[in-house]
Amino acid sequence: MPELIKLVHQNSTIFIIVASLFGLVVGSFLNTVIHRLPIMMEMDLRDQCASLKHSENLPPHHSSKYNLITPRSTCPHCRKAISAWHNIPIISFLLLGGRCKECKASINWRYPAIEIISALLVSLVANKFGFSLNTLVVSIFALALLTLTFIDWDSQLLPDNITMPLLWLGLIFNLDEGFTDIHSAVIGAIAGYLILWSIYWLFNLISLKENMVYGDFKMLAAIGAWFGWAMLPTVILISSLVGSIISISLIFFAKKGRCSPIPYSLFLATGGIAALFWGNQLSHLYLSN
């Protein structure tokens, strides 16, 4: 084992390949998180409501254990348990021809897509930071943004279980000046939250439709905690540009209505990932103009 670790440490190509495989495995788990965490939040909310004084008339929720581990994953169509051999990232999807082994129903393309995106993100982080603890920590940041985006897309929720630890992890990472100094990181967290909070209430005051929720404020606060206040204008600019392009494309090509909700977390995540890999270059380009 020490020899293997030494080989991975000395050979950057092998390290990136190993990191990509790790990303695939984590991506498979993220599919479970994206599906189950909103359900767990709903169940927890019902438990809290049921504990209130006048909650006797609330219907009880299903009492069986449900978390990120239990029960085993099942096909959403036939409800048959998925064996471990049929849950191998990408490979199982290809071998099964994109269909459930039992009922032959199509497997959602999103499952392998999220696995591939996860592997790509981790490999890019590994290439940027090399064999170091930073690669692990920054990979958590990138994969958390991916998870938040898909949860928001499905349920219009941005769980505090992810956004708040992500914010604190950014502050901890910058204690040793990971991306910026801790002073800039703290101001970035505060400014990130207040910028979107102010826009939200401004839109409310002038009676315009807004498409943000408090989870978006916390998400930008987390990004500010990672990269500092000076990076926020670049992140917001990229988010706005990507949001405009995607919104216009959906209206004209996918025939989406102008009032159809599009999760703002998608645009924030894009800005956060851009800041991660090309932040300094984009900031210099932005300031030079």
My answer on whether 146 and 105 are in the same domain is no
My answer on whether 250 and 142 are in the same domain is yes
My answer on whether 261 and 288 are in the same domain is yes
My answer on whether 112 and 71 are in the same domain is yes
pLDDT score for 288: 63
pLDDT score for 261: 65
My answer on whether 105 and 215 are in the same domain is no
pLDDT score for 18: 93
pLDDT score for 210: 57
Domain boundary among 129, 144, 169: 129
My answer on whether 160 and 247 are in the same domain is yes
Domain boundary among 129, 154, 179: 129
pLDDT score for 53: 58
pTM for this one? Answer: 0.88
My answer on whether 110 and 212 are in the same domain is no
My answer on whether 123 and 158 are in the same domain is no
My answer on whether 186 and 264 are in the same domain is yes
My answer on whether 48 and 10 are in the same domain is yes
DSSP string of the chain, one letter each residue: -HHHHHHHHH-HHHHHHHHHHHHHHHHHHHHHHHHHHHHHHHHHHHHHHHTSTT-TTSPPPP-S--SSSSS--B-TTT-PBPPGGG-STTHHHHHTTTB-TTT-PBPPTHHHHHHHHHHHHHHHHHHHH-SSHHHHHHHHHHHHHHHHHHHHHHHS---HHHHHHHHHHHHHHGGGTSSS-HHHHHHHHHHHHHHHHHHHHHHHHTT------HHHHHHHHHHHHHH-GGGHHHHHHHHHHHHHHHHHHHHHHS---TTS---HHHHHHHHHHHHHHHHHHHHHHHHH-
pLDDT score for 191: 97
Closest to 220 measured CA to CA, from 207, 208, 234:
234
| Whether 73 contacts 81, CB under 8 Å | yes
Domain boundary among 102, 129, 156: 129
My answer on whether 37 and 77 are in the same domain is yes
pLDDT score for 257: 53
Overall number of domains in the chain: 2
| Whether 143 contacts 33, CB under 8 Å | no
My answer on whether 252 and 209 are in the same domain is yes
Q: What is the pLDDT along the chain (289 residues), one digit of tens a residue?
A: 677 677 777 788 899 999 999 999 999 999 999 999 999 998 888 877 777 755 555 454 555 688 888 888 888 778 888 887 778 889 888 888 888 887 888 888 999 999 999 999 999 999 999 999 999 999 999 999 999 999 999 998 999 999 999 999 999 999 999 999 999 999 999 999 999 999 888 877 776 655 667 899 999 999 999 999 999 999 999 998 988 888 787 777 665 555 556 788 999 999 999 999 998 787 767 666 5
Residue 28's domain comprises 1-129
Q: From CA 274, how far away is CA 208, in angstroms rounded?
A: 29
